[in-house]
Structure 1
Amino acid sequence: MRISSGTLPLIWQVRLLSVCCILLTDFLNHISNAADVPRPKAIVLILADDLGYGDMHCNAPETCRIKTPNMDRLAAGGLRFTDGHSSSGCCSPSRYTLLTGRYHWRTSLQSGIVGVWGKPLIAEGRLTIAELARQQGYRTACFGKWHLGHDWPIDSELKPLFTGFGGQAGGGGQVTEQISAAHRQAWQAVFSQQIPGGPITRGFDEYFGTDVPNWPPYCFIEGDRTVGIPDRLLPPENFVKNQASLQGPALENWSLQAVLPALAERAERFIQQQSAAQQPFFMYLPLTSPHTPLAVNEQWRGRSRLNSDYADLVMETDAVVGRVLDSLEQAGLTEETLVIFTSDNGCASYIGVPPLEAQGHFPSGPYRDYKASVWEGG
């Protein structure tokens, strides 16, 4: 029996995270113990960020006004799980559960999320689904938003040089525009070093992405190093509502809009490379969208016809899903790939929900409330 994104991909309700990890873990253990079980050549796990249950047309066709053709085709060709729940309605806890299969409260984090410059939430030596896949001969990669902490080499004396520049949740607020030579010296010293405690120490052979796209450092991280030295602040125009949230170290000319396309490109390249090498692979793609910053690229601006950056960004996110599916098809892997799609939690209410609901679009679909709520919509 072949495992195919045409016959057995999974599209998950928002927050179906523990079930996802349990199934993957059981599946990987099963193929390691049974010689006659067909092994998929690829396993692709796509995690959207703050995507509501009702933002996918296939989940709520009567109340969804956003076109999501690629998520819909994944659902139409596979299985939808619509009654799974996480014990948390926000980011870092859900990611911890997804990668480890453990309750998020079995960590030092007892509320909220991993903060800026936060320590690793996944303990060193803790088994992750990436490590389990690697043990079964899969090349493992993570491209996207990590938000599970790093061992940033920032001690208590340096900490004041990395924080306190202003901003607020959801974007906006007053931000600092000038820094001192001491700031630049400290940033140069820290960002010239390896950054341990990240994805490549938690089961992934390679990593490319951002820690948190609306927080510093505003740069890409590849492996365990920043790509370049972020040695200045973001221009204040990046802090309008629902764009960047916290001011801090940034690369010159850093573009919020460039992040999502870069992740899609790296995912495509990885699929092509592993296919050419005939190397089985596990790819974890934690997208930065449609979480803030609502940094919609020009070709998607206005496409939803809902006068909403969020709705436009959902469509751009759907297009990234399509790029991954198309890359698998072009590599001849469609019939031998297990594709899983989910989201970490529900839609964030601050992105402009009332105007969307007034136009007949309900990001939580039939469910109540939004991100961080104990109700099903969170």
Structure 2
Amino acid sequence: MNRFHYGFIAIFLLFLFSCSPDKKEAAPDKPNIIYILADDLGYGDVSAYNPQSKIKTPNIDQLASEGMRFTDAHSPSSVCTPTRYGILTGRYCWRTKLPQGVLRGYGKALIEKDRETIASLLKENGYTTGVIGKWHLGVDWVVKEEFKDSLQNGKADWNEFGMMTQMDENWVDFSQKPTDGPLNHGFDYSYILPASLDMQPYCYLENDVLTELPTEHTPGNELNSASYATGAFWRPGKITKSFDFYDVLPNFIRQAKTFVESHAKDKKPFFLYLPLAAPHSPWVPTENYNGKSGAGEYGDFVQMVDDQVGSFLKTIDQSGISDNTIVVFTSDNGPFWKPDFIERFNHRAAANYRGMKADIHEGGHRIPFMVRWPGKIQPGSQSNFTTTLTNLMATTADVLGVKLKVNSGEDSQSILPILMNDKSKITEAMPVVHHSSKGFFAIRKGDWKLMERQGSGGFSEPVIIEPKEDEPIGQLYNLKDDPSETNNLYADKTEIVMELISELDKIRNR
């Protein structure tokens, strides 16, 4: 055989091997992941969950019809900051330096510097990562030299609503870039509001740098006790000259659209965490939504949220990435919807569940949760699997086919088998721990839910009940038979009580 024949064979074999399927290259493209987190949206606000809702949510309903809707999904906490920590880390927030309550706008960074987050996990696996929206996990503002001793000597204080204050607004040097923000925790890009829309400072940070200095001051709005945390309510404090409360929701959606459009054609997949600041107070629907719902300003604001989410979903579809994009839509806790609002509007923002935001009862933490992944998740499917928002970490690792690091996502369970309806891999739901604004613990296992103490532990009255000598010290409900938590079986089912207390202690001491 001459050199020509040898050369021809070599070229042919090279061509053959280059065309043969390579497992790594032949694997399906990694999906983009978009996580939309509403703020204080109730289970009963979404008409896909509550046909009697006085609020119209056609876009969120459409998303539910295109994927899987969960009926037994929960936030790990019934207030903002702890839930956001749990989403990003797969870990319960009560394991941190914030045992209860929420941070204020000048709260120090809560996520530990060496803690793996969903963003750092995805970044290590080839993703571009971004966060646009309400951060509320603390920012390490630079403190003026003359106040550094005050910061070091100061102690954190909690008010009656469970909000933690760590520094004074006058201590902050806004001319300098904060030393800890989203970019320190796995995000390539960030555009954030530091905390809730009713907490100063009222400003935006892009890539951890203020877009405008908060040189102005707002006296606050609707600050009488009757309207606390309702209506167009915000607290006094520092604000930028151009800040517009009514434009925050549209602004975040505009920024999110830009992010999607700029990365839609990239070879790298992307992750976008989109924590909205609505419909949390201030309830600031733009004028064209006034009176559109049957649930007052709050309902009008929820309808604005629905329209804005629908507009964003349309951008995803128009960008041509829908088929390879996982979209999650959920809420960080239950609604702030007082009993007198139920009577006034005949609208149950928490559906038939007891309590509201901040409470240990179901209304505080049972939330809408839906996932769309075309070609993977059956459209119009529904699951009653008990899940919690800390499960994002393990589920994402499962999607990528990677293992989480040691001591990462300790409180996370993959729900990918549920989403894919892979019956051979579905396991029993891990017990879920609930936590109220005042630090009340509850555990859910199967049909049973145990609360260690009496009272709501949040906003609903009575908040704390000190039981008499012959009364049960806690609460036990069978949610299958009693979803509204009306029949306390704590004194009657002592074996179940002891089993759940033991399980809860085991998780807390893990």
Shorter chain as denominator, the TM-score bin is 0.7 to 0.9
Distance, in Å, in 2 between the alignment partners of 1:117 and 1:229 is 15
| Structure 2 gap ranges (5+) | 1-22, 152-158, 162-167, 365-510
Q: Deviations over 1:5-42 (max 9, x none)?
A: xxxxxxxxxxxxxxxxxxxxxxxxxxxx9776523441
The match for 2:36 is 46
Partner-residue secondary structure (3-state), 1:249: strand
Q: Aligned match of 1:341 in 321, 326, 329? A: 329
Query: Which residue identity does 1:233 align to in structure 2?
Result: H
The alignment-based identity, stated in percent, is 39
Query: For the pair shown, which has the larger CA radius of gyration, 1 or 2?
Result: 2
Matched residue, 2:282: 293
How high is the TM-score relative to the length of structure 1? 0.79
- Superposed displacement of residue 155, structure 1: 5.8
Decide which of 345, 352, 372 is 1:359's aligned counterpart: 345
Asked if 2 retains the 8 angstrom alpha-carbon contact of 1:234 and 1:254, the reply is: no
SS in 2 for 1:84: strand
The match for 2:315 is 327
CA 1:207–1:238 in structure 2 vs 1: closer, same or farther (change >3 Å)? farther
Partner of 1:20: none
Is 2:99 the partner of 1:116? no
Q: Secondary structure of 2:83's partner?
A: helix
Structure 2 residue aligned with 1:261: 250
Counterpart residue type for residue 218 of structure 1: Y
Partner residue of 1:101? 90
Aligned counterparts of 1:43 and 1:71: Cα–Cα separation in 2:
17
Shift of 1:196: 2.3
C-alpha distance in 1 between matches for 2:144 and 2:103: 17
| Structure 1 Cα separation of the partners of residues 313 and 236 of structure 2 | 36
Asked whether 1:316 is paired with 2:304, we answer yes
State the match for 1:234 in structure 2. Answer: 218
For the 8 Å contact 2:105–2:194, the answer to whether it is kept is: no
1:115 CA drift (Å): 2.6
Residues 332-371 of structure 1 show CA distances to partners (whole Å, capped at 9, x for unaligned) of 1111110001111000135xx5334443321001211100
Question: Structure 1 residue 223 and structure 2 residue 217: aligned?
Answer: no
Distance (whole Å) between structure 1 residues aligned to residue 120 and residue 75 of structure 2: 22
Of residues 179, 182, 204, the one that matches 2:187 is: 204
Q: 1:273 to 1:158 in 2, by over 3 A?
A: same
CA distance in 1, matches of 2:280, 2:72: 23
Bigger drift between 245-254 and 325-334 goes to 245-254
Q: Sort the Cα spacing of 1:357 and 1:204 in 2 relative to 1 into closer, same or farther, 3 A.
A: farther
The CA deviation at 1:153 is 1.4
For the residues of structure 1 that align with 2:82 and 2:93, how far apart are their CA atoms? 5
CA distance in structure 2 between the aligned counterparts of 1:193 and 1:154, rounded to whole angstroms: 9
Superposed CA offset, 1:280-336 (max 9, x none): 110000000000111111122221143x11101111111121122101110011111
The alpha-carbon distance between structure 1 residues 87 and 269, as it changes in their structure 2 partners (threshold 3 A), is: closer
Q: Distance in 1 between matches of 2:297 and 2:40?
A: 14
Distance 1:228 1:358 in 2: 41
Correspondence 1:82-231 to 2 at 5 A:
82-154=71-143, 157-158=146-147, 190-212=173-195, 213-231=197-215
**Which residue number corresponds to residue 15 of structure 1?**
none
CA contact (8 A) 2:36 2:273 kept: yes
CA separation of 1:156 and 1:362: change in aligned 2, threshold 3 A: farther
More displaced, 121-130 or 247-256?
A: 247-256
What secondary structure, in the 3-state scheme, does the structure 1 residue paired with 2:315 have? helix
Alignment match, 1:58: 48
Query: Which residue is 1:164 aligned to?
Result: none
Question: Which structure 1 segments of 5+ residues have no match?
Answer: 1-32, 162-167, 171-182
CA distance in 2, matches of 1:215, 1:347: 18
Which residue, 256, 264, 277 being the options, matches 2:266?
A: 277
The whole-number CA distance in structure 1 between the counterparts of 2:300 and 2:136 is 24
Return the structure number with greater strand share: 2
**Contact in 2 for aligned 1:57/1:64 (Cα 8 Å):** yes
Following superposition of structure 1 onto structure 2, how do residues 244-259 of structure 1 map, counting pairs within 5 Å? 244-259=233-248
Partner residue of 1:78? 67
Letter aligned with residue 321 of structure 2: L
Q: Which amino acid aligns with 1:126?
A: R
Summarize deviations over 1:238-268 as a string: whole Å, max 9, x none: 7574334321111124211111110000000
Aligned partners of 2:26 and 2:70: how far apart in 1? 27
Assess, with a 3 A threshold, how the Cα gap between structure 1 residues 358 and 216 changes in structure 2: closer, same or farther: closer
Q: Which runs of 4+ in 1 moved over 2 A?
A: 33-41, 84-87, 154-161, 235-246, 276-279, 353-360
> Helix, strand or coil: the match of 1:109?
coil
TM-score (norm 2): 0.59
- Map Cα deviations across residues 47-95 of structure 1 (whole Å, 9 max, x no partner): 110001001100111x311100111011111111221334421111111
Helix, strand or coil: the match of 1:39? coil
Per-residue Cα deviation, 1:89-115 (whole angstroms, up to 9, x for no partner): 111111110000011111001111113
The structure with higher relative contact order (CA 8 Å, sep 6+) is 1
The answer as to whether partners of 1:60 and 1:366 remain within 8 angstroms in 2 is no
- How far 1:46 moved relative to its partner? 0.4
